[in-house]
Homo-oligomer: A and B are copies of this chain.
Amino acid sequence: MSWQFKLVSSMRASPFRACITRPNGLLLRPTARPAGDFSVSVPTMTQTKRLNSNKCLNIDNINPHIRAAKYAVRGELAVKAEEYRQRLTDGDKALPFDSVIFANIGNPQQLDQKPITFFRQVLSLVENPLLLENSDALKSSFGYNQDVIDRARTLLANVQSVGAYSHSQGALGIRNSVAKFIEERDGFPADPQDLFLTAGASSGVNTLLSVICNSPNAGVLVPIPQYPLYTATLALLNAQCVPYYLEEQRAWGTDVNAIYQSIKDAKAAGTDVRAVVVINPGNPTGASLSADDIKQVIDIAAEEHLVIIADEVYQTNVFEGEFVSIKKRLRQLQQEQPGKYDDVELVSMHSTSKGMVGECGHRGGYFELVGFDPLVQEQIYKLVSIGLCPPVVAQCLLETMVNPPRQGEPSYELYQKEYNGIRDGLRKRAFALYDAFQRMEGVECQKPQGSMYLFPTIKLPTKAVEAAKAEGRVADEFYCLRLLEATGVCVVPGSGFGQKENTLHFRTTFLAPGTDWVERIVKFHADFLQKYR
């Protein structure tokens, strides 16, 4: 049973519908653009061209898996939000708000988050090494410290030029730094041979799922709610998504029994379940897995011979407790119970896009292969070598991320100040938003634990649900659209991530500065309930 097809039939808006068609047949532009850009992706050709059969390609004969893939994070609402933004820029006074807040995507530097100074100083030097010829001026005129200059020189020695292809796994010197970071974090060593630098975690997910999914029956366990990269990629690969529901009432915890049941059901349907995705900390939930939960996941993986895909890109966005990497837990278990866990295969992913770094646009990251068959690892190498290498500047950025200034070094103080400032700011905003949700009737939100998002449940009056139906919408999408129209705040309906039936949610980032936008939501919500009471 294919997860995608079930949802297509039962819901109009879900992670599994890319094209939202209106009754009048007008095709909306469902794939929207991130904030800060105003263009329309579809040329202004009309339907007559569509009927033209002399072209090779049409919507019915392109790769059907591309059609099937859904990625709703940039859906209809984001398109509308962009239109509003443009209208405000053009001086439109008719809207009931004076700014649009893009709370739909985790793109910190599109809002007010500044990059970390040390990182960008180093990158400026690797981009233009001629600057290093006058280090005195760098110091006196621009405040570059010696450690910045030294780091740039080291990186240039590693890569020779950021304009040259590197090793397809990324420059060895940089992989050495990543290995050291992993060892310091976990207390267990990492081998640079097992590290693959990437153009971001999304790229790594694509690589890994391409290797693992060997037939249309291949299935991958995916937590619901999930960041819809996973379902989209599985659709592209014509493989099966095997959902397992997270437990909202247990702080979005991972319920191992749910995983067992999902495996059982999938196998009964003929699915060859080969991997389990764990997003830790979660997206959209922000929940961190406890050491116990991680052990249980590893147990299932060992018993059922599943590859564990550990998406750990939010590992430094943790408010509650401490992040424990799945690799660390695995190594601990391998020590505690020799033999039992020897064959567990794990891939751990990290990124320069999130955390306090927030360098989404640089497209950097890595994955670490743990316990893979060397011949399989060789094939993964071959696959990445076809794409030549990940962006070399981003490799350098990754190195500064995993090897930041240390105590005693001249850039340490400012680095710490900036890092902590961002961290504290994120925490403050998360809880301010959480507090606001407490004041909203019918809204329940799990306490912020991490990531950049809150994913509250909303209970809407029956009248609202009916109004939604009358518009041909799922209720949470209806709510979010009304929210946008009234307040200019753009969020993503929970149906975009998957949710248990008969529940409604939305995902919002807490990145936007100030509290005004939060109050807009509180007021809208009260008005909305009043209207549909």
Contacts and interface: CB of A to CB of B under 8 A. Distances in A.
A387 B202 CA distance: 6
A124 interface: yes
Interface in A189-243: 191-194, 199-200, 202-203, 206, 210-214, 229, 232-233, 236
Nearest to A167: B37
A49 B169 contact: no
Contacts of A456: none
A391 B56 contact: no
A18 B385 CA distance: 12
Contact of A141 (B61, B141, B342): B141
Given A202-B386, A385-B31, A142 B130 contact: yes
A31 B385 CA distance: 8
A67 interface: yes
A7 to B, nearest CB: 17
A382 interface: yes
Contact of A343 (B38, B55, B109, B393): B55
Contacts of A388: 200, 202, 360, 363
Nearest to A173: B37
Contacts of A316: none
B63 A211 contact: yes
A359 B203 CA distance: 21
A29 B378 contact: yes
A94 interface: no
A120 to B, nearest CB: 4
Complex copy number for this chain: 2
Interface string A344-374: 0100000000000011111100000001111
B387 A74 contact: no
Contacts of A29: 378
Contact of A199 (B345, B360, B391): B391
A41 B378 contact: yes
A377 interface: yes
A33 B388 CA distance: 9
Interface in A37-71: 37-45, 49-50, 52, 54-59, 61-64, 66-67, 69, 71
Given A37-B171, A49-B374, A55-B305, A391 B361 contact: yes
A167 B34 contact: yes
Contacts of A390: 363
B42 A377 contact: yes
Contact of A362 (B64, B162, B378): B162
Contact of A124 (B124, B192, B363, B372): B124
Nearest 6 interchain pairs by C-beta = A361-B392, A137-B141, A37-B167, A124-B128, A54-B343, A163-B359
11 contacts: A36-B159, A37-B172, A62-B211, A66-B210, A107-B164, A109-B164, A199-B391, A203-B387, A210-B236, A236-B386, A391-B394
